[in-house]
Structure 1
Amino acid sequence: MRRRLFAAIAMTLAAAAVPVSADAGRSTLQRDADGIVATGVTGVLARETSPHGSRTAVSGVRVLGGSAPRADGRFRIGSTNKVLVGTVVLQLVAEGRMRLDDSVEKWLPGLVQGNGYDGRKITVRHLLQHTAGISDDSFPNIENAQQYYERRYLVRTEEEVVRAGLRNKPPFQPGGGWDYSNTGYNLVGLMIKAVTGRTWYDEVDRRIVRPLHLRDTYFPGPNPKISGPHAHGYTRFTAGEYTDTTELIDADASGGYISTLKDLDRIVRAIFDGRLLKPAQLRELTTTVAMEGTDIIWRNARYGLGVGSRELSCGGRVWIPSGDQIGFKTRTAVSADGTRSVVVSMSTQLNDSMDAVLAQENAATKLIDDVMCR
């Protein structure tokens, strides 16, 4: 549903902002969550964790014109999904079932050949690190409300996504640059199935979701709805117009899972504190290359195997497995030892102008830096 709101939206959202608890008052976390809503985001959930415990803040509304969102609400995690895929691969490496330097051709013979591609030269490491040179030009994006209504229920297999991407010439040869590729992660998903005989999401459930006892994290498959409590996701394609983009079928290895603040916080800390990865595999995960072209939003950002890092405003670096999926933005940060973390879910994408994109991103960055620099 499209709604023309303009100035009224800011008044509605500000009125719905609520503190985390009576004794916490307007904590820094709460003020920063309110600051994100002030940019035009409809709803914000935020959670910080340290050795002293956890704190949660919510701001805005669950649905336009409605009440505040629930702190236990579910949301689409978008490309935060990539660190789940990377973790599964690294566990398989630790078990000796595959290697990071295995070629695509070894596990998917004949799939990546021709049009400038050679699967013998593209490795698992290249794919996880976005250095494979796999074009993302045909990845099915949604850029306006009409496209959303036309495409929201389309079902695409990972093979279809990969074959569509390979119809474009590679932007560079393997190892010759850095270019974010959702299509490349669909290839990783197919390789996991070739190695294990199970889908990548079955392996995520078996290796991450169940061992961590996550009750609210799940793979939706072809179901376009979000089950359980959740805020509606909105996208502002045009200034002043909010399109309800909650429903979507877009569940593949590049960004498919649904989770909550508490569950996602547990995941990102478990990856870095040794519960999910051995030291040798964690070193591989955090071996990085420069993320070219991202300085406009993240300072000196680098990318490992499914996870990025950036400089904090106070100095030092933080790990940032984050992602977008239509209607939702997820931003996380975790310390290298997994003892400090912050997870932010925003149930709006402000895509109507670069100024709006940067305002939302900068407000989320401020929240994260205020937590991680404390």
Structure 2
Amino acid sequence: MRGTGKLAAGTLAGVLLASAAAGTAAATGDPVRAAVGNLVAEGGFPGAVVQVRNGETVSRFGAGYANPATREPAGPHHRFRIASNTKAFVAAVVLRLAGEGALSLDDSIERRLPGVVRGPGYEPEKITVRMLLNHTSGVHDPLDPHFFDPYLVWGNRAYVYPPSEVIRRSLVDPPSFAPGAQTDYSNTGYLLLGKVIEKVTRNDVREEIQRRLLGPLGLERTYFPLRSPFPRGPHLRGYDLSEPVKDMTVFSPSYDWTAGAMVSTVDDLATFHRALLSGRLLEPAQQAELERLVPHGEFGAYGAGVETLDLPCPGGPKTVWGNTGAGPGFYSVSMSTEDGSKQIVLALNVYDLAKDVAHEDPLPSSPLPAVTAALC
């Protein structure tokens, strides 16, 4: 989940393109490795981990430190919080349920969660499952500027926000727009989708993700924490931009739930997105829904749980598909070219939620040079 600041729109372009002047990769040698090295050497990130694919040739490497205090080198085996990359997993489950006939994307949220969406100006009978998937529902995130105070002001990193409380606080204020009228990135919309999954399946959403996606794909280093603020196993440590920097690694993911609580590795995330975008996880009708785009600005569009960006490449813009994830201490990009021939998963261990909430840059520099080096 992003905060309520200028990156709350959730666009890949909003983060990658905001600091496009950060520099480009070296012209010689491995341009991706050079660009990632620059992010650590000059870009202000303690560490980075990457998986890059060109055709069937895959390389994976780290730069800098997973833990600067102990000087543990960052490597592709390190886990990290994937934040909004979680949405693609949730969307895949919803689309599979639609393919099974358990729900329709045209179902209203009132039909699937009667009485849940209640607030001034809301019309739950007009908000569909499809609108929640592609961020056209008008449901916004909590507007209360003190929403993140338990973590950022009180210092209680283990504070638990039940999803129902986040939803309730989001609905206190009127919707951003009428259902289907515009696009506006909504984490709360994905919390509602998590509730829909549990209502339809009568099962924990984490178990549905495990049974339908993680298990079949062999993603053994990916998991969905519920309340614990402590990452499992070898992991990157995440930081903010304060002076001195604060270690944000220990942080309850409860407020993000099905909008962004999952933890993974670059290899696991690459495997998942390759399977999803190549059509291996969904029937053709549901794959078409995944790829059904609504524009969200000059440079990109939203699908069902994924987004596109017109990447500024030397030969002209190139459309890439995937997700980004931004949360306390961590920022990640998982993108592929439209034909699937090239792919990058990049994780960085700085993201400043407090600066995002304050409408300031939450990253020390832009990851764009590494992404363009891999995908252009």
1:347 and 1:148, CA in 2 relative to 1: closer, same or farther beyond 3 A? Answer: farther
> Structure 2 matches for 1:194-213, cutoff 5 A?
194-213=199-218
Aligned position for 1:330: 332
CA contact (8 A) 1:145 1:243 kept: no
**Separation in 2, partners of 1:222, 1:136:** 20
Cα deviation for residue 311 of structure 1 reads: 0.8
3-state DSSP of counterpart to 2:249 = coil
Cα deviation for residue 305 of structure 1 reads: 0.8
Match of 1:33 among 9, 33, 36: 36
1:339 and 1:94, CA in 2 relative to 1: closer, same or farther beyond 3 A? Answer: farther
1:227 and 1:203, CA in 2 relative to 1: closer, same or farther beyond 3 A? Answer: same
Aligned position for 1:7: none
Q: Deviations over 1:134-173 (max 9, x none)?
A: 12134786489843723x2111222111111111111111
Query: 2:172 is matched by which residue type in structure 1?
Result: R
Aligned position for 2:86: 81
**Separation in 2, partners of 1:130, 1:182:** 9
Cα deviation for residue 68 of structure 1 reads: 1.6
Match of 1:59 among 63, 67, 73: 63
Aligned position for 1:247: 250
Aligned position for 2:113: 108
**Separation in 2, partners of 1:52, 1:154:** 43
Match of 1:189 among 191, 194, 205: 194
**Separation in 1, partners of 2:119, 2:151:** 35
**Separation in 2, partners of 1:115, 1:341:** 43
3-state DSSP of counterpart to 1:62 = strand
Q: What is the aligned-residue RMSD (CA, Å)?
A: 2.2
Query: 1:197 is matched by which residue type in structure 2?
Result: R
Aligned position for 1:12: none
3-state DSSP of counterpart to 1:284 = helix
2:310 is equivalent to residue 304 of structure 1: no
Aligned position for 2:123: 118
CA contact (8 A) 1:269 1:339 kept: no
Aligned position for 1:155: 160
Deviates more, 1:139-148 or 1:87-96: 139-148
1:143 and 1:110, CA in 2 relative to 1: closer, same or farther beyond 3 A? Answer: closer
Aligned position for 1:175: 180
Q: TM-score with structure 1 length normalisation?
A: 0.85
Aligned position for 2:19: none
CA contact (8 A) 2:134 2:305 kept: yes
Cα deviation for residue 336 of structure 1 reads: 3.2
**Separation in 2, partners of 1:210, 1:338:** 23
Query: 1:180 is matched by which residue type in structure 2?
Result: Y
Cα deviation for residue 64 of structure 1 reads: 2.3
3-state DSSP of counterpart to 1:323 = strand
**Separation in 2, partners of 1:178, 1:76:** 26
CA contact (8 A) 2:167 2:191 kept: yes
Query: 1:325 is matched by which residue type in structure 2?
Result: G
**Separation in 1, partners of 2:211, 2:205:** 10
CA contact (8 A) 1:272 1:337 kept: no
1:233 and 1:148, CA in 2 relative to 1: closer, same or farther beyond 3 A? Answer: farther
Q: TM-score with structure 2 length normalisation?
A: 0.84
**Separation in 2, partners of 1:349, 1:168:** 28
Q: Deviations over 1:326-358 (max 9, x none)?
A: 110011111334442110000111565978546
Aligned position for 2:294: 289
Q: Percent of aligned pairs with the same residue?
A: 33
